[in-house]
Structure formats: structure tokens, C-alpha cells
Amino acid sequence: MHLSLLKLRFFRNLENQELSFPPEGVAIVGPNAQGKSNLLEAIYYLETFRSFRGARTEQLATFGEDSFRVWARLGSSKNSEAPATEVAAAYHRASDRRKITVDGAEPVRIGDVVGNLGAVIFSPSDIAIVSGGPSQRRRFLDIVLSLNDPGYLSALQNFKRVLNNRNAALRADQPMSVVQAWDEPLIRSGGLVMMARFLWVEKWCANFREYYETVSGGISASMDYEPNVAVGACDKEIIHDAYAKALDVGWSRDLRSRNTGSGPHRDELVLSLTRDSHSSEIREFGSGGQRRTAALALRLVEGDSIRQTRNVDPILLLDDAFAELDESRRDRVFELMDSGRFGQVIITAPRESDIHFRGGALQCWGIRKGQICA
């Protein structure tokens, strides 16, 4: 899939404009505060209908304007026979309502149309996935799995609802039987969450290692799933038994803390550097560039996940991806982009000298005060 046409109206500081994107992508270069991240935010809004920077929808309308609209036409890159898709999102401040359409039709639920673009965004704030607490990495897993594993989101939502109910019963000093009535649904929904995480990490850990090694130019890294409930194998029965036992063993602790201590809400995704036989967690021992490299490797794996589940080349949106990388790492990222594994790449940087790949074939656009000059 690739973005072929984008129309913007009153999105952040961007001028109202219509942009035709080449199928191989484009580099967008301009000084700070001109609208580079805003442009990628507008594009990625059509993937998840949320700001990738965590902004509320009403903040996306240009200051002083009552509404915004983003519209895109997507073309298939591999098969030109495939019909183009059109995705649009509009927001009106007065009614605080959004209107989302795919090929002109409004979906029943937004959940039915997320992931239409097949895009991955890499931004400087991704460093938090690597450097932050375990909840940041669980959040990364939850978003990737929600977009790529049918059934994951509803299992996760069930789990969270049951967990809240069980914790509320603990806090209200309810009798044991009332609290433990939640155990069975907790184990069932939590088991699905654990199983999906287990399989995802198992499937993609080799790619993570490969991307990390490629960009770092030597040193290796690993991605491991460390479930809070120790399970020996990804088997429904084994996971259910292990979780039941963990709740059993943890009962007096739960009673004391009035909180459920066992389950996937305490899982960890461990990212480590591996040198010889020594391994150290990147979040504790990694340098700035190593963290940045690990974050990029996670996003590239996310792209692989999209390619596999949706059978399209992912669109890579790279926002200032090279800020902390040295020249050789930067060049190896470009080599990766050139390897033919990725489809359209839309990349931003403050300096043109930061960008040189696709044999110089990538178009370079300037941006000033929200106006793109192609």
C-alpha cells in the first residue's frame, strides 16, 4: 500500500494543500517548527484516528479554526489493478464529533477501520518504549497486537474489566468467594493475552535481533517475553493452570495489598544487549544510540507484522529518526530502507545532508511555515 494523494484542511500549522506522494516515498526537510511532525501526524491519524503524539483530537485543528479534515487516497504498490481506497477523517469542534469514512462509507465502529493505511511511525519519543517502565513496553505490544491480531483487543478489554472488578471486590473487603468468582474469567481472558504476546515475541524476536545487528553494525540484541505468571510453554491448559496456581499462591498478598498481583498486567518485554555470553538490559545499560536503535528495530518489526497480517508493504513514517545516530548507523538504516523490504518511506529531517538513499532517487521536499514546496 502507498499513500498517493493527501488533502489537508486546517490541520495544526499546515497550510490547506493537496500533495501527491511518489510510491517510493519522499524526504521532507526543513528547520525546526515548520510542520514536519505535524504532516506525519496528519498521515498517521488515518491509521489509528488518534494523534501519535498523544494529543487530543481537538488540539489538531489549527488555532482559531473550528474543524479539520484529512483525506487520503491509497494505491496498492504491488498490484496496480487493485482499486484505490480513500480514507478521510473530519472533526468539528462545535459538536465535538468526528466523521470517519472509508471509500465514502462511515464504519459502524472506528475499530473496524483502524489499520487501513498499514503505516508505522517512528518518532523521537519512541525512546520511552525502551527506556521507560514495563508499562511502556506492554503498551507497545498491546497496540501492535490490537492492530494485527484479530481478537486481541477484545481479550485485553475483557481482562482489564475483570481485573478492575476483582480489585474493586478486594478493596471493598468482600468475602473470598466473591473475589475469587472473578478468577475464572480473569484466567480465561488473561490467558488469551499471554498467549498472543508469547506467540508474537516468539515469531518476531529473530527479526528484532537482525534489525538491531544490521543497524548497530555488530553488537547484538534480544527481545524476550517475560510473563509475570511463569509459563513453560504456549499452551492454553498450561497457561490456565499456571495462572490459577499463581492466584492461589498470591491470595494472602492480594488480600493484604487489596490488589491483584499476578497476571499479564505485570508482564515485561525484556530488551537486552548481548555481548559474547553476557547480556544486559538496554533500559539500564544502553547508550542513547543503542536505545534509539532498539526503538527503531521494534518499529521495523511492527512493519513486518503489518506486512504479514495485512499482506501489504507497510508505509514507514520516520520522524527525525537519525537525531541520535552516528553516521555509520544512519547509513545502515538507509541501506535497510534500500533493501527492498520496505515500501513507501516518508522521512523528515532538519538537514538535507541527513538524508541520502535510494541512490539519490528519493525526492526531497522543503517545508516552511506549514507549506510544502515539492
Residues that bind ligand ATP (CB under 6 A): 12-13, 30, 32-38, 59, 62-63, 320, 350
User: In angstroms, what is the minimal distance from the CB of 322 to Mg ion?
Assistant: 13
Q: Tell me how far, at minimum, the Cβ of 30 lies from ligand ATP, in Å.
A: 6
Using the minimum distance from each CB to Mg ion, give the nearer residue, 36 or 197. Answer: 36
Q: How many CB atoms lie within 10 A of CB 138?
A: 19
Closer residue to ligand ATP (CB): 38 or 216 = 38
> For ligand ATP, which is the closer residue by CB, 36 or 329?
36
Q: Which does 131 bind (CB under 5 to 8 A by kind): Mg ion, ligand ATP, none?
A: none
Whether the CB-CB separation of 333 and 321 falls below 8 Å is answered with: yes
State which amino acid sits at residue 147. L
CA distance 177 to 199: 33
260's CB contacts (< 8 A; 6+ apart) are: 163, 166, 167, 170, 186, 247, 250, 254
Residue type, 63: F
Q: Which does 280 bind (CB under 5 to 8 A by kind): Mg ion, ligand ATP, none?
A: none
The number of angstroms, rounded, from the C-alpha of 24 to the middle of its chain's C-alpha atoms is: 22
Binding range to Mg ion, per CB under 5 A, among 34-42, 47-55, 100-108, 307-315 = 34-42
Q: Smaller CB distance to ligand ATP: residue 123 or 290?
A: 123
**Minimum distance from residue 83 beta carbon to ligand ATP (Å):** 32
CB of 325 to ligand ATP, least distance (A): 16
339 binds, among ligand ATP, Mg ion, none (CB under 5 to 8 A by kind): none
In the complex, the smallest distance separating the C-beta of residue 350 from Mg ion, rounded to whole angstroms, is 8
Partner from ligand ATP, Mg ion, none contacting 63, C-beta within 5 to 8 A by type? ligand ATP
CB of 30 to Mg ion, least distance (A): 10
Residue 37 within binding range of Mg ion, rule CB under 5 A? yes
**Among residues 13 and 17, whose Cβ is nearest to ligand ATP?**
13
Of residues 36 and 69, the one with the C-beta less far from Mg ion: 36
| Strands laid side by side in the 67-75 sheet | 17-20, 2-9, 67-75, 85-92, 97-102
Residue number with CB closer to ligand ATP (221 or 317): 317
Closest Cα to residue 41, out of 63, 8, 5? Answer: 8
Question: How far lies 183's CA from each of 222, 269, 305, in Å?
Answer: 33, 24, 32
33 binds, options ligand ATP, Mg ion, none, Cβ within 5 to 8 A by partner type: ligand ATP
- Find residue 73's DSSP bridge partners: 5, 86
Site track 295-314 with Mg ion (rule: CB under 5 A), x = hit: --------------------
Binding mask 42-81 for Mg ion (x = CB under 5 A): ----------------------------------------
- In 3D space, the residue among 156, 166, 138 whose CA is nearest the CA of residue 260 turns out to be 166
Q: What is the greatest pairwise CA distance in the chain? A: 70
We find the least distance from the C-beta atom of residue 38 to Mg ion, in angstroms, to be 8
d(C-alpha 15, C-alpha 370), whole Å: 5
Per partner kind, with CB cut-offs from 5 to 8 A, the member of ligand ATP, Mg ion, none near residue 101 is none
Contact residues: Mg ion, CB under 5 A: 36-37
